[in-house]
């Protein structure tokens, strides 16, 4: 259990600098357990603390663990250059908490994207040593053939890689779609592997990380959710 003053609680949750948070409180815009609190020095237990700002309810969270169904034409960057950033799909205060994508999806790639402000979690999920499999569904320009699947499973050579890269699993879904499972997470890996195998990736969707599936989260494109403890446990190899 930890106790903190209300202004520090709001600051920790990304609602702004301490001075701004104190003004919010003084103006009667913050309530705790249904009671409007105007004294920023009041202390509260942060564990399971529910508070409201501008009548919107929030649960105190030491760290944020988020799953987003990333739409097309959004950049996985805190400083996007050509398209909107994925942070624009989240509440504004999350950006003040240094929330960032766990790895990256290309602007034209859709699907499951994790986001967090927990550096240890981000490192554990991103590290090649973790060997966390990721499942992609690729739409191809030319038909998916047995030869293509065989090449991807056997390994293809990419220009800047010392050794061939192979899919852990590769399944033909229909004439122009295949499921491919990777654990390396190299730059543009699925697209480059398909090109090296003699095809072209028309569209790409990440459907699963570890054992956590996008389908189970039931998120429409652009929607996000907090991850539960049970869902977090699925993010393993």
Q: What is the pLDDT of residue 237?
A: 63
Shared domain for 137 and 198, answered yes or no, is yes
Reduced to 3 states (helix: H, G, I; strand: E, B; else coil), residue 8 is helix
Shared domain for 121 and 219, answered yes or no, is yes
Q: What is the pLDDT of residue 1?
A: 62
**Per the residue annotation, which of 7, 73, 106, 220 is the catalytic one?**
106
Shared domain for 124 and 224, answered yes or no, is yes
For the chain, the C-alpha Rg in angstroms (whole number) is: 22
Burial class from Cβ neighbours inside 10 Å (0-12, 13-18, 19+) for residue 131 reads exposed
Number of domains in the chain: 3
Shared domain for 184 and 117, answered yes or no, is no
* Cα 226 off chain centre by: 10
Which two three-digit tokens encode residue 109?
Answer: 């790639």
Which among 70, 170, 183 is positioned nearest to 126, based on CA atoms? 183
Expressed as residue numbers, the domain containing 74 is 65-128+212-233
Q: Bridge-partner residues for 170, per DSSP?
A: 180
The Cα 71–Cα 107 span in angstroms is 8
CATH number where 23 lies: 3.10.290.10
Out of 12, 44, 59, a domain closes at 59
Shared domain for 112 and 221, answered yes or no, is yes
Shared domain for 90 and 138, answered yes or no, is no
Shared domain for 119 and 217, answered yes or no, is yes
pTM for this prediction: 0.92
106 labelled catalytic: yes
Which two three-digit tokens encode residue 157?
Answer: 């050579």
1-30: pLDDT as tens digits: 689 999 999 999 999 999 999 999 999 999
Shared domain for 122 and 224, answered yes or no, is yes
Shared domain for 82 and 54, answered yes or no, is no
117-156: pLDDT as tens digits: 999 999 999 887 888 999 999 999 999 999 999 999 999 9
Strand 56-59 relative to strand 212-213: parallel, antiparallel, unpaired?
Answer: unpaired
């Amino acid at each position: 259990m930890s106790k903190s003053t209300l202004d520090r609680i709001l600051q920790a949750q990304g609602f702004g600098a301490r001075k701004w948070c104190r003004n919010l409180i003084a103006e009667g815009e913050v309530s705790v357990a249904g009671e409007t609190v105007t004294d920023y020095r009041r202390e509260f237990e942060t564990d399971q603390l529910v508070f409201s700002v501008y009548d919107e309810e929030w649960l105190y969270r030491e760290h944020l663990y988020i799953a987003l169904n990333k739409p097309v034409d959004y950049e996985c960057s805190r400083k996007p250059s050509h398209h909107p950033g994925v942070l624009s799909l989240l509440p504004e205060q999350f950006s003040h908490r240094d929330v960032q994508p766990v790895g990256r999806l290309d602007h034209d790639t859709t699907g499951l994207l994790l986001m967090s402000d927990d550096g240890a979690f981000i490192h554990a999920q991103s590290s090649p040593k973790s060997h966390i499999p990721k499942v992609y569904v690729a739409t191809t320009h030319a038909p998916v053939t047995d030869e293509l699947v065989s090449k991807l499973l056997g390994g293809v050579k990419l220009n800047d890689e010392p050794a061939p890269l192979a899919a852990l699993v590769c399944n033909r879904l229909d004439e122009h779609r295949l499921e491919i499972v990777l654990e390396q997470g190299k730059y543009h890996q699925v697209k480059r592997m398909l090109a090296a195998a003699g095809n072209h990736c028309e569209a790409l969707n990440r459907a699963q990380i570890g054992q956590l599936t996008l389908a189970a989260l039931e998120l429409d494109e652009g929607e996000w959710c907090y991850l539960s403890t049970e869902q977090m446990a699925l993010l393993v190899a």
